[in-house]
Structure 1
Amino acid sequence: MRILLNQHFSKSPRGWNSWFFDQMSIPYQSDILELGCGSGDLWFDNEARVPQSCEIVLSDFSPTMLSNAQRNLRHLDRDVTFEQFNANAIPIDNDTFDIVIANHLLFWMAN
């Protein structure tokens, strides 16, 4: 619902995902983790802007959302890893990623 409201009522000529992506400075060889990737729209909308050398892991608590992301991003010309887990208990070692994205996720977090 939030996404539809933003798309329908936003006054900006640019979409949220484009603007958000502009706020990141992604180094050439980055390992990127997105927590709560939803349907993968951030990557779908910005696929040409991500350096090919980046390793991307998209995660979501919901198996359905993760499945939607896999389907929406199947055409990407890069390897993307999809992992289902709860962002309150990330099963990955610290210092594994250069960039961690938690876009519109923190309000769902207990801690």
Structure 2
Amino acid sequence: MEQMDKHRREDFVQELFDSIAKRYDLFNAVLTLNQDSYWRSFAVNKAYIKTGQSILDVCCGTGKLSIALAEKAGRQGQIVGLDFSETMLQQAKENIRKTPYSQRITLLQGNALHLPFSDQSFDCTTIGFGLRNVADIAKALSEMYRVTKSGGTVLSVELSKPSAPMLKQLYFLYFEHLLPLIGNLGFKKNQPYYNLPASLRTLPDHSEIQKLFLQVGLKQVTSYQLTGGIAAVHLGIK
């Protein structure tokens, strides 16, 4: 039954992102006051990425994090962006085509819970705003750990939950009421952005994510709370 629940969740999330792919970047910028760009930049700068490294970007979505990683890895760097939404990958292809990095980023359709790569394939493995949507966070992190080389890094940047009581109340008021109304403008069904508060409610807080990083075997795990705890970056070394 649990396995069936995971399959249904995967189908739901895939359908959701297929439906919002063309507007995903615009709404992320508007609804986060463009903080998502800062969060990605902060994460990439913390990832110990060196020139020429190979990097896997899991749940790459529209490719924004993959592009930032390609810039950091330099001319010899190679990035693989993986996502299970074909529509999101099409949008990523369009975004990447507008950059100087199209020859260094390969896009691939696949599942974060069953990464189609051999053990120790990448110097760094990342996931941006994807943990809250996978059916099994521990399994996704375990797969990221598996495909990362010894001494390599595993990185997550994700929405989180503020700890300050007043900010936490305002945060959930915004995400549970105002954000879905804005985000769903133009959709016939009030579905896509109404899923965001639900995914945040079930997402472990930043301290629990840090424990999961440790449980899969990562060492020297560090976390950073950004913008008052609205987002969090986690980093571990294999």
TM more than 0.5: yes
Task: State the TM-score, normalizing by the size of structure 2.
Answer: 0.40
CA displacement at 1:65 relative to structure 2? 0.5
Secondary structure class of the residue paired with 2:106:
strand
What code does the residue aligned with 1:64 have?
T
Bigger strand share: 2
CA displacement at 1:88 relative to structure 2? 1.1
Structure whose CA Rg is larger: 2
Question: Do 1:58 and 1:81's aligned partners in 2 also have CA atoms closer than 8 Å?
Answer: yes
What code does the residue aligned with 1:100 have?
T
Over 3 Å counting, the alpha-carbon distance change for 1:46 and 1:57 in structure 2 is closer
Cα RMSD of the aligned pairs, angstroms, is 2.2
Residue of structure 1 equivalent to 2:44: 21
Q: Distance in 1 between the 2:119 and 2:89 partners?
A: 23
Residue of structure 1 equivalent to 2:89: 66
Identify which of structures 1 and 2 has the higher relative contact order when contacts are C-alpha pairs closer than 8 Å and 6+ apart.
1
Unaligned runs of 5+ in 2: 1-23, 137-238
Question: Do 1:34 and 1:102's aligned partners in 2 also have CA atoms closer than 8 Å?
Answer: yes
CA displacement at 1:49 relative to structure 2? 3.3
Task: State the TM-score, normalizing by the size of structure 1.
Answer: 0.81
Which of 129, 132, 136 aligns to 1:107? It is 132
Quick check: 1:7 aligned with 2:30?
Answer: no
Residue of structure 1 equivalent to 2:120: 95
Secondary structure class of the residue paired with 1:86:
coil
Over 3 Å counting, the alpha-carbon distance change for 1:84 and 1:35 in structure 2 is same
Q: Distance in 2 between the 1:96 and 1:7 partners?
A: 36
Q: Distance in 1 between the 2:68 and 2:122 partners?
A: 22
Bigger helix share: 2
Residue of structure 2 equivalent to 1:54: 77
What code does the residue aligned with 2:122 have?
F
Post-superposition Cα deviations, 1:55-80, rounded to whole Å, max 9, x if no partner, equal 11011110000111111001324321
Over 3 Å counting, the alpha-carbon distance change for 1:94 and 1:47 in structure 2 is closer
Q: Distance in 1 between the 2:130 and 2:72 partners?
A: 23
What code does the residue aligned with 2:87 have?
T
What code does the residue aligned with 2:125 have?
V
Secondary structure class of the residue paired with 2:117:
coil
